[in-house]
A and B are shown apart, each in its own frame.
Chain A
Amino acid sequence: MSVRIVRVLTRVESPAEVVFHVRGEEVERVELKPMHCRRVEHALAGLPAEAVPAYVSRICGLCPIAHQIASSHAIEAALGLERPPEAALAVRKLALLAEHIKSHTLHLFLHALPELFSYAYNSPQDVFTLSKAEREYPKRMGALIAFSDRVLAELGGRGVIPMISAAGGVYSRLTAASRDKIEKRLKQAKAAVDWVRDLLYSRRLLDKAMVDKELYDLPERIKLVTSASREELWGEVKVYAAEQELKLIPAVSLLSEDYSREALLTGPAARYLARGGSIHGVMNLLSHIRIRLDEVKACIDAVEKALNEPRLYHGVLRERLKVSDSQEAAALEAPRGTLVHYYRIKRGAIAESRILTPTMINMSTMIMVANRLVELASDLAFPRDYIIGKTMAAIRLFDPCISCLYHTVEQL
């Protein structure tokens, strides 16, 4: 007889339940069950269009800027603003870069690196145990967060859920004094990236985890999702604009098509492939750690470069939008992947909305990876608790943004 073992999926951004169907010592299959409940689209109905960006930034406290910008672009397009002010585009781009740094930093230090250290130390690790065992650990994490939070706070008043993008533009521009404060933190942020790189390669943390490499493989047939194929929708906010179409699914088509049975992949690994990276570089979840770290480095460099953009410091911040009945969608690259916001607006208020988050796109593939892992590990006669632990590790290495998954819990 099969029994259910329920575990809380820990070390992700909102807990979920993982249900393991077990027969004897063999784990037969895995399900993910929600523990929380949100109905964001329900609450958006009737809300004035201009109130949407601030509201949707409460979908996820870890990627609020992506939600703010995607909703702003969709509403601007629906209400006839073809191109937001140049200063607004520059501010949004800078803020999104900072959010990528912060989100990846949290993923690396809270979720992924403890997984690698558990192989090196041969015991489970988390940010608290590592802050004691590795004295530099909290300091380096703090340096990266302080850098990204400084950018966000200078633009939007605070590091957590800052007020940056509005329908029609942005609230604030950068000043010379702000730039100085950000630049002061650059050196330490870059040093923190080098420190993590040193962990991965010189201290061979990645190599040590390779003992379980095959457990973390992706399905062989993967379809990529990036927002690159609808570049016109995200204007200048093209952090990782793809130079070539590589089996890309138009992001907006995801709103209407049945995509749930496909093995889709969005996020850093999909962007890496879309930029021309090797398929062999993404087919294992352990390699995604390196790709995330490379994105952090690229984003820090891009922030440094963007600080010299004159558009950040001058010009109109926000255009007034005209009230009209229309609908439009916008897509951009959030840290965890393609994010799509769609709105139908009637007399200035939201009549209908649909938000597709990266974790929703990744969900079916995450479950495939988890089920493939338990099948393989059971065949290899791994102990049951080991299989359970590694299944949860695979999910958190893939995409831990369960908060974004919860925004409309009926869609799980």
Chain B
Amino acid sequence: MEYGERWAVIQLSGCSGCPSAVFSSPVLQDLVYSMPVAYFPMVTDSQRVLSADIAVVSGAVCKRAEEELLKRVRESCSKLVALGTCAVYGGVVSREVESAKAVPEVVEVDQVIPGCPPPEKLVGEFLIAEVSGGEFRLPSYNVCKECPRAPLRRKPPIRVRYLEPPEELQAKACFLDHETLCLGPVTRGGCGAVCIELGVPCHGCLGPPAKSYTSQLANFLSILDIQLEKSKLMQFVSRYIRVGVL
């Protein structure tokens, strides 16, 4: 069966992890192969973006040619989706190239799917909604809702001394209860808290559940008694999102 909507998949500066993710799940593959593709240079010989119903853009905008391409895509496609944290917030690329822009800084977007990489579950739900005419909504809850660890017990101000969990950390305790910074409270859920499951505090790759990351982050940090060098703190909280930009 072939669905009616024509797709374009555009890569800007990034690691190619987001577009390759569509080939990483049998469910996604079934959907992808059933869609008419107007432009997907990673896997087809398409040279130019012709008109498409949906354009999925990954990566950040680093070069003028990328900005021009993005504007052409916006003009020729009915719906534009920013896929992955580089596209949505600038991501790691914005740490490397000072002038890098997120896609919404250049053109209007209809949908964002953040994550580094974007969670397979969210990408799958989005694709299913598109082909079935349903509605897709990003989770509005934070990572704590999915966290396998015990809820935070401490009351503010919560002392934070570590960016890496200390050795004595109890397997199921909240990182913040053990003075370890975790951005789960100010990060959108939907990832299944995969990193936390592996013992790694959340670095915030899905971005904020609400629009203003900077004010959310400022509120969060204000309830912490942070005993870390400021530069290390800033590096941690801006690994994926430029604080103050969005």
A binds B: yes
Tell me, yes or no, whether A171 is within 8 Å of chain B by CB: yes
The answer to whether A160 touches B117, judged by C-beta atoms less than 8 angstroms apart, is yes
Per-residue contact bits, chain A 127-151, to B (CB 8 Å; 1 contact, 0 not): 1100110000010011001100100
Q: In chain A, what residue has the closest Cβ to B17?
A: A61
Cβ 8 A contact of A11, one of B29, B43, B194:
B43
The answer to whether A171 touches B96, judged by C-beta atoms less than 8 angstroms apart, is no
Mark the stretch among A33-41, A279-287, A338-346, A361-369 that contacts chain B. Answer: A33-41
A127 to B66, CA, bound (A): 26
Q: In chain B, what residue has the closest Cβ to A126?
A: B44
The answer to whether A48 touches B17, judged by C-beta atoms less than 8 angstroms apart, is no
The answer to whether A61 touches B12, judged by C-beta atoms less than 8 angstroms apart, is no
Mark the stretch among B135-143, B151-159, B181-189, B196-204 that contacts chain A. Answer: B196-204
Mark out the residues of chain B between 15 and 52 whose CB falls within 8 Å of any chain A CB in the assembled complex. 15-18, 20-21, 23-26, 29, 33, 37, 40-47
Chain B contact patch, size range: 35 or more
Mark the stretch among B57-65, B72-80, B125-133, B172-180 that contacts chain A. Answer: B57-65
Whole-angstrom distance from the CB of A323 to the nearest CB of chain B? 12
Whole-angstrom distance from the CB of B198 to the nearest CB of chain A? 4
The answer to whether B235 touches A124, judged by C-beta atoms less than 8 angstroms apart, is no
Whole-angstrom distance from the CB of B33 to the nearest CB of chain A? 4
Given contacts A127-B43, A160-B21, contact A36 B66 (CB under 8 A): yes
The answer to whether B15 touches A403, judged by C-beta atoms less than 8 angstroms apart, is yes
A128 to B46, CA, bound (A): 12
Tell me, yes or no, whether A320 is within 8 Å of chain B by CB: yes
A26 to B197, CA, bound (A): 59
Question: Chain A residues with Cβ under 8 A from B25's Cβ?
Answer: 149, 159
Tell me, yes or no, whether A66 is within 8 Å of chain B by CB: no
Tell me, yes or no, whether B150 is within 8 Å of chain A by CB: no
Cβ 8 A contact of A158, one of B14, B26, B96, B117:
B117
Whole-angstrom distance from the CB of B52 to the nearest CB of chain A? 14
Q: Which label, helix, strand, loop or mixed, suits the secondary structure of the B interface?
A: loop
A46 to B229, CA, bound (A): 12
Cβ 8 A contact of A61, one of B65, B117, B164:
B117
The answer to whether A161 touches B116, judged by C-beta atoms less than 8 angstroms apart, is yes
Question: Chain A residues with Cβ under 8 A from B42's Cβ?
Answer: 10-15, 110
The answer to whether A160 touches B24, judged by C-beta atoms less than 8 angstroms apart, is yes
The answer to whether A38 touches B13, judged by C-beta atoms less than 8 angstroms apart, is yes
The answer to whether A110 touches B43, judged by C-beta atoms less than 8 angstroms apart, is yes
The answer to whether A39 touches B24, judged by C-beta atoms less than 8 angstroms apart, is no
Question: Chain A residues with Cβ under 8 A from B194's Cβ?
Answer: 157-158, 163
Given contacts A39-B97, A43-B95, A58-B92, contact A160 B41 (CB under 8 A): no
Tell me, yes or no, whether A335 is within 8 Å of chain B by CB: no
A62 to B11, CA, bound (A): 14
Question: Chain B residues with Cβ under 8 A from A314's Cβ?
Answer: none
Question: Chain B residues with Cβ under 8 A from A142's Cβ?
Answer: 26, 29
The answer to whether B44 touches A11, judged by C-beta atoms less than 8 angstroms apart, is yes
Mark out the residues of chain A between 54 and 71 whose CB falls within 8 Å of any chain B CB in the assembled complex. 54-55, 58-62, 64
A231 to B120, CA, bound (A): 37
Tell me, yes or no, whether A391 is within 8 Å of chain B by CB: no
Mark out the residues of chain A between 164 and 214 whose CB falls within 8 Å of any chain B CB in the assembled complex. 171-172
Tell me, yes or no, whether B107 is within 8 Å of chain A by CB: no
The answer to whether A106 touches B23, judged by C-beta atoms less than 8 angstroms apart, is yes
A306 to B130, CA, bound (A): 41
Question: Chain A residues with Cβ under 8 A from B44's Cβ?
Answer: 10-11, 126-128
Interface residues of chain B, those whose CB is within 8 Å of chain A, are 11-18, 20-21, 23-26, 29, 33, 37, 40-47, 59, 62-63, 65-66, 91-93, 95-97, 100, 116-117, 119-120, 163-164, 167, 192, 194-195, 197-200, 203, 231-232, 235, 239
Closest 4 CB pairs of A and B: A61-B17, A157-B194, A37-B62, A36-B13
What are 6 contact pairs spanning A and B, CB under 8 A?
A61-B17, A110-B42, A126-B44, A128-B44, A149-B24, A171-B198
